[in-house]
Amino acid sequence: MKFNRLVLKNFGAFYGNNDFDLTTLNKNQNVVLFGGKNGSGKTTILDSLRIVLFGAFAFGLKTDSAVYLDKIEAKLNSKAKKDHQGFFQIILELEMVENLKRNQYTLNRGWSRQRTAIKESFVVFKNGRQLEEKEVELFQTKLRDETPPQLLEFCLFDGEKIAQVISKETLSSYLSQTAKVMFNLDLFESLEADIETYLKQEKVYTSLSQDEQTQLELEQEKNNLSSKRDETIGELESLEKVLDEKNSLYSDLNRQFHVNGGLEKKERDALVKKMSDIDHRRLTMMERNREILTSLFPFVLARDLIHSAAEQMEREAKADLKNEFVKTVSLETFNEILNPVSNEVNVTNELYKKITDLLSQDDIQPIHKASAVQRAEILNFYKQVRDFVPQSVLNDFKQNTQLIKEVQKIRKQIEENDASSDLKDLLEKLHLIQSEIASTQFRKEQMVVLLNDLTEQLAQKEQQYQTLKTKVMASKKMGHVFEIANKVSEVSRLFRDLQLKKKLQQVELEAAKMLQIVYRKELFVTRVKINPETFQLKIFDANQEEINIDILSAGEKQILLLSTVWAMAMCSKRRLPFVFDTLLGRLDQTHKKAILEQFIPRCGEQVIILSTDSEISPEQYSEFKSNVTHTYTIDFDTENLRVNKSTNYFGMENNYELSS
């Protein structure tokens, strides 16, 4: 298929009649280049190709529902609507080779507005003759079969979408879908489904044996489980996408919040707690000091008095002891005791005096008459008073002032936080996202559980099914309808697997070749490997060591995807135009040059490139212009609310337009 001409009438940003010649000369001059700044209408061109070809299907819808017409309504040019123009149209001229014959088609999809409702008309001309209603239907079915919307989707590269595929780790499922459609393997999937439907017809079903019926039911249950599992995987993928988005939104807002001095609830709570901790510490400390000041401090002032009281008590105690001794052992008793040793009274008298003097020499007037316990208490108290260091109380007072300041500072921070409404808004948003993340996370966990459960159930069913199948096969004579149908189904599945493996091997070779041409020299890929079951993509360097795809830059990942899908398109032998919308923005100069000069010329007969001036610069354009047949610059004129177009690339003429 090749596009020859596109006309947009009052569609999107395009007011009035906008006619674009899309013909390309040959494989060496295969490019139609649109230049346009952001918002100039590039993506509108890409969208209008989808819409004119597939109508509601372009949006993944099945019928011309109200949803579809709403979407169209939004795309009808608003100035034309205001001017009450009745005409909104996309016209596409294309050619297709059918049964070795080249046919020219003109597709004309138009909309008219009656009050609030809009109506669609779709007219098709084949080689100049308008097709009848029935023929148009046939044509549409054929178009959808041969160039399914999904398939075209893979050739219509939307830079934004590709960037998403790459960043969201959905590369494998993207490749799996591409391969299925590219290689027609979805046809076999539907054949297998058809066979199952056939077997389930009443008359066929009732002629089956009990085991056969059970086998059929098991197969159906298996398929149900399998599609539920696929759905779950799909949902998990999209939940992950949502989580990613929400998480990055959260960290953006969070950064913003903190840059502006905001406190999260957690942090605020922590500060409040810190404040009360400090207060508590401060109060305990001051309470202790208060006690000291009221109980001990007065005695500190009367320290000397207590000292003499303690000494007096000491002396009283000794005097008591002496008196006690004298009372118990009188001088006479003493002399008597010592009589056998010495009968010289002078000596023993002297000895007695020495002993009693040793006990106490004081002849004091008792004041306190304290008991031993009381004395010990007073002595102990005196020691406390003596050892008391006033500096420690002073230090505590200083520390108290310090702590009060600290608390005031924290209180101010909290008050400022609470008073700012911007921060409040941000905080509310943060909380909202946080709870959304939590519920998404919860949902994701549920899905994981469900997935595990389904996988397990599926494995069980598979086992039951295989056991029964072997039994049924063994008991059947050849030629029975059930057996034949099952065989066909099995052959189809085998064929599909084999075909996929074979095709993927070709794709691996082609993709590796392309990567060697396009990647910068240091990233030398010798081999590409695609797992036919998981569609996991692996690349290997010259030493046959795997290169971790995750560490590739966004641009390098994009090239990898581009080369792989390109390789699939090549191996599928389908001749489809490629459309690249804003695809080069993420590539550095070296890679951009390689894509323009090496990749594009290998993309077949027609490549439509929609580019901003920063993607393909004037210098790059001059290097590349020998590949270009037509150029356009589209520019949204904000004054007259319409797109102006010129036939050059941002003011630079092209060779073809000059010579013709």
Ligand X SMILES: Nc1ncnc2c1ncn2[C@@H]1O[C@H](COP(=O)(O)OP(=O)(O)O)[C@@H](O)[C@H]1O
Residue ranges binding ligand X (CB under 6 A): 12-13, 36, 38-44, 75-78, 636
Closest CA to 531 of 513, 549, 557: 549
To Mg ion, the closest distance from the beta carbon of 582 in angstroms equals 5
- Rounded to 5 degrees, φ, ψ at 361 are -105, -15
Closest CB to ligand X among residues 38, 361: 38
Closest CB to ligand X among residues 70, 453: 70
* Number of C-beta neighbours around residue 280 at 10 A: 10
To ligand X, the closest distance from the beta carbon of 43 in angstroms equals 3
Cα–chain center distance at 223 = 31
Which of Mg ion, ligand X, none interacts with 75 (beta carbon under 5 to 8 A by kind)? ligand X
Which of Mg ion, ligand X, none interacts with 38 (beta carbon under 5 to 8 A by kind)? ligand X
- In eight-state DSSP terms, residue 40 is S
Closest CA to 80 of 646, 636, 642: 642
For residue 656, what are its two tokens? 């073809």
Stretch that binds Mg ion, among 34-42, 165-173, 319-327, 498-506 (CB under 5 A): 34-42
Pairwise CA distance, residues 59 & 48, whole Å: 11
Q: Do strands 101-114 and 117-126 pair parallel, antiparallel, or not at all (unpaired)? A: antiparallel
Closest CB to ligand X among residues 38, 644: 38
Closest CB to ligand X among residues 12, 110: 12
Closest CB to Mg ion among residues 482, 580: 580
Stretch that binds Mg ion, among 28-36, 42-50, 454-462, 525-533 (CB under 5 A): 42-50
- Say what the alpha-carbon torsion angle 379, 384, 386, 391 is, to the nearest 10 degrees: 180
Which of Mg ion, ligand X, none interacts with 555 (beta carbon under 5 to 8 A by kind)? none
To ligand X, the closest distance from the beta carbon of 168 in angstroms equals 21
Closest CB to ligand X among residues 12, 577: 12
Could you tell me if residue 146 is left (phi over 0), alpha (psi between -120 and 50 degrees) or otherwise beta?
Answer: alpha
- In eight-state DSSP terms, residue 584 is S
Stretch that binds Mg ion, among 41-49, 301-309, 398-406, 407-415 (CB under 5 A): 41-49
- In eight-state DSSP terms, residue 296 is I
Closest CA to 54 of 129, 127, 147, 134: 147
To ligand X, the closest distance from the beta carbon of 144 in angstroms equals 25
Among positions 314-353, residues that touch Mg ion (CB under 5 A) are none
Closest CB to ligand X among residues 13, 313: 13
- Cα separations (Å) of 388 from 378, 381, 392, 398, 626? 15, 11, 9, 18, 99
40 belongs to the binding site for Mg ion (CB under 5 A): no
Closest CB to Mg ion among residues 42, 586: 42
To Mg ion, the closest distance from the beta carbon of 43 in angstroms equals 3
Which of ligand X, Mg ion, none interacts with 180 (beta carbon under 5 to 8 A by kind)? none
For residue 113, what are its two tokens? 């507005």
Stretch that binds Mg ion, among 43-51, 55-63, 207-215, 522-530 (CB under 5 A): 43-51
Kindly tell me the burial class for residue 236, based on how many C-beta atoms sit within 10 Å of its own C-beta (0-12, 13-18, 19 or more): middle
43 belongs to the binding site for Mg ion (CB under 5 A): yes
Closest CB to ligand X among residues 46, 569: 46
Which of Mg ion, ligand X, none interacts with 60 (beta carbon under 5 to 8 A by kind)? none
Pairwise CA distance, residues 100 & 16, whole Å: 38
Half-sphere exposure of 197 (CA within 13 A, CB side): 6
Stretch that binds Mg ion, among 35-43, 141-149, 434-442, 511-519 (CB under 5 A): 35-43
564 belongs to the binding site for Mg ion (CB under 5 A): no
Single-letter amino acid, residue 523: L
Q: Which residues bind Mg ion (CB under 5 A)?
A: 42-43
